Amino acid sequence: MLLLEFLLAMLPIIWLIAALSGLKMAGHKACVIALAVTAALAAGYWGLSALCIATAALEGVLNALWPICLVIVAALFTYNLTLKTGAMENVKRMLAGVSRDKRVLALIIGWGFGNFMEGMAGFGTAVAIPASMLAAIGLDPMSAVLGCLVVNSTPTAFGSVGVPTVTLASVTGTELVPLAGSIVSIQCILTFLSPFLMVCICGKGIRALKGMMPTTLVAAASFTIPWFITAHFIGPELPDIIGSICSMGCMIAAARIFNKDPEQEYTIEISGEAGKEKAIGAAEGLKAWSSFILIFLFLMLTSTLCPPIHNAIAGIKSTVTVYAGEGGNALGFSWINTPGVMIFLAAIIGGLIQGAAFGDMAEVFLETLKKYWKTILTICSVMATAKIMSYSGMISDIAKFLVAVTGSFYPFFAPVIGALGAFVTGSGTSTCVLFGGLQSETAAALDLNPTWMAAANVMGAGIGKMICPQGIAIGAGAINQVGSESKILSKVFKYFLLFVILSGIICYAGALLGL
């Protein structure tokens, strides 16, 4: 009976794996079908009423739209608007003008700016933008996308202004700041290791670290330390953003001290718009970065770091219980003090500073919705699926089977489950929704710390994004090599295995220590 219930409960997940990796079906279509399969199973085997199924799905959709999709659309709107105004070209030129050493550029753009874009926007922007920038200024395109895929595995938890972690806390019922603290604790080793791998990948071997150890150590420490502290004391919204800003500044300073004269082997001639020698003044630089600077300021001012403003607007919210059955969770909607609203406000003001008219902004906004409506549908479908699985007891039955099979060794496999979710959905947020409840329920059954196991889930989600079809397709498109997806997958897979094994060991050791 336990095996039968496990297999039936796994059918939506098995379908997603088969549809996305085997049938090559579009994500939004596969997820809508998974939702239909889940609803049929919940009604036919688990006996959930039609009203409960409908309200569970509605709760998932509402939770997806606000704040998850709101943040994603706001972040992508910001980026697209900087493209429209030409500000992104100046951002690229400023970053590329720091050094001619491709290893330094890989760290500043792929690691530092990539983590910044993950913290601001997420959703593939941390691979697409840095990889295209690195290829544009002369790095080997395949190395650029491979390096970006690998280093983007660790900042996922706090991407899109912390949406995956906020969602995970909502799904698992854990407290937000302690959860963020557990996430940085479980991920700090892999995070510190990432820039060293970036140098090796873009430098074509471990010997690329020669002469780069001081700068790479600075890159690792200057991100990991503020990232760690911010998560522990503020929460999940700002660790990637603060860490990346600190890291980019420190890397630029370190490169000018330690890497002024790189070996010919690692020197590149920067071409194209980014390679023009025309200096960018302070005023023009601030104008180019204005949207991103304003986002950072607005998020800081509305966080708990600024109690007067935070407390004044925190109460402007609504709470409603949507699910019609027993045990329904209350959904909270913050109408002003939510990252999506702050990002939209910053993007509009930044756009005006950069010379955009309101008509231009409206055009960019509509184009963003038109381009990413399938993504919104995908996220809504996955959230609805996860809510039905949770309320019907399907996730609970999966957890019971895993406890019976793996027993005390479950923590070693917990990150693999998160990686599987990211491979299927291509999203850290969707993975948290899909398997967050499973991890916490399994932890409770094994008398483990639910917060630690929830953190293991989001760590695995970041690792799984290395090999997810959507992420690889984004990377291939960024370097104008559509059709090279299988080549990218074969090259990145060894790093995926390394991170999966290390994450399992870290999670298991932490569970033994009672973390």
- Mind listing the pLDDT tens digit for each residue in 263-309? 777 887 655 554 455 668 889 999 999 998 998 888 878 876 788 99
Domain housing 230: 2-512
Q: Which carries the bigger pLDDT value, residue 344 or residue 129?
A: 344
- E strands of 218-325, at which residues? 317-321
Statement: the pTM of the whole predicted model exceeds 0.85: no
Q: Which carries the bigger pLDDT value, residue 473 or residue 416?
A: 416
Written as one string, the DSSP assignment of 440-485 is: HHHHHHTT--HHHHHHHHHHHHHHHTTT-HHHHHHHHHHTT-TT-H
pLDDT band at 38 (very low <50, low <70, confident <90, very high): very high
User: What pLDDT score does 274 carry?
Assistant: 47
Rounded Cα gap, residues 205 and 101, in angstroms: 15
Q: Highest-confidence range of 129-133, 291-295, 326-330, 356-360, by mean pLDDT? A: 356-360
Q: Which carries the bigger pLDDT value, residue 328 or residue 221?
A: 221
User: What pLDDT score does 185 carry?
Assistant: 97
Rounded Cα gap, residues 37 and 33, in angstroms: 6
User: What pLDDT score does 156 carry?
Assistant: 94
User: What pLDDT score does 220 carry?
Assistant: 98
Rounded Cα gap, residues 499 and 18, in angstroms: 24
CB-CB contact of 150 with 495 (8 Å): yes
- In this structure, what token pair is assigned to residue 196? 């060293």
Q: Which residues contact 511 (CB under 8 A, 6 or more apart)?
A: 411, 448, 449, 452, 453
Mean pLDDT confidence for 401-413 = 89
Q: Which of 6-15, 182-191, 298-307, 502-511 has the lowest mean pLDDT?
A: 298-307
pLDDT band at 357 (very low <50, low <70, confident <90, very high): very high
| Domain total of the chain | 1
**pLDDT of residue 514 exceeding 90:** no
Helix axes 87-96, 125-136, angle to 10 degrees: 60
Q: Is 152 exposed, middle or buried (0-12, 13-18, 19+ CB in 10 A)?
A: buried
pLDDT band at 448 (very low <50, low <70, confident <90, very high): very high
Q: Is 403 exposed, middle or buried (0-12, 13-18, 19+ CB in 10 A)?
A: middle
Percent over 70 (pLDDT), the chain: 97
User: What pLDDT score does 16 carry?
Assistant: 84
Closest CA to 65 of 364, 369, 328, 321: 369
Can you say how many angstroms the Cα of residue 205 is from the centroid of all Cα atoms in its chain? 27
- Element housing 229 (H / E): helix 213-233
pLDDT in tens, 168-220: 998 888 899 999 999 999 999 999 999 999 999 999 899 999 999 999 999 99
Closest CA to 173 of 394, 380, 436, 415: 436
Amino acid at 490: S
- In this structure, what token pair is assigned to residue 512? 């033994």
**pLDDT of residue 67 exceeding 80:** no
User: What pLDDT score does 270 carry?
Assistant: 53
CB-CB contact of 28 with 374 (8 Å): yes
